[in-house]
Copies of this chain bind each other. A is one copy, B any other.
Amino acid sequence: MAANSQFSMAVHILMMLARSRDENLKSDYIASSVNTNPVVIRRLLGQLGQANLVVSQTGANGGTRLSRCPSEINLSEVYKAVSCGEVFALHGKAPNQDCPVGRNIEAVLCNLQKEIDRSIGDKLSQFTLESVFEKVESLPTT
């Protein structure tokens, strides 16, 4: 399990919360839908909470709910919240600084990285939780 599925799990979690409206959901309950351990869910909810997308309550009868209406949260916010790195990594070791290409390539790639990130953000911001929820609900439930 080295591939990063945090964004997928985060969206799944948020769909569960969108469906439950104002009711608090427990991490155990969400975990049983995502099919993982409740701690994995609580870790993600922590990140989503720091991004002000959800609100959690500790203690008996606690749980988590959306901080806003599903139409007011978009996937770009979710993507940023779970911070799953960049599309591609820069060089692990620094290139040879004595080479004209090696000396400058990192700066160029870094700018490119930022441009692509912007593209992804733009695309993701077109989807609200509400619009994604509609797709999930409208699928032919086999």
Contact = CB atoms under 8 A, between A and B. Distances in A.
Interface string A31-42: 011111000000
A1 B4 CA distance: 15
Identical chains bound together, number: 2
Interface string A1-29: 11111111101100110010000000000
Contact of A91 (B12, B75, B92, B120): B12
Interface stretch (A47-55, A58-66, A95-103): A95-103
A56 B2 CA distance: 33
A95 B31 CA distance: 9
Interface in A105-130: 105, 107-109, 111-112, 115-116, 119-120, 122-124, 127
A105 B67 CA distance: 21
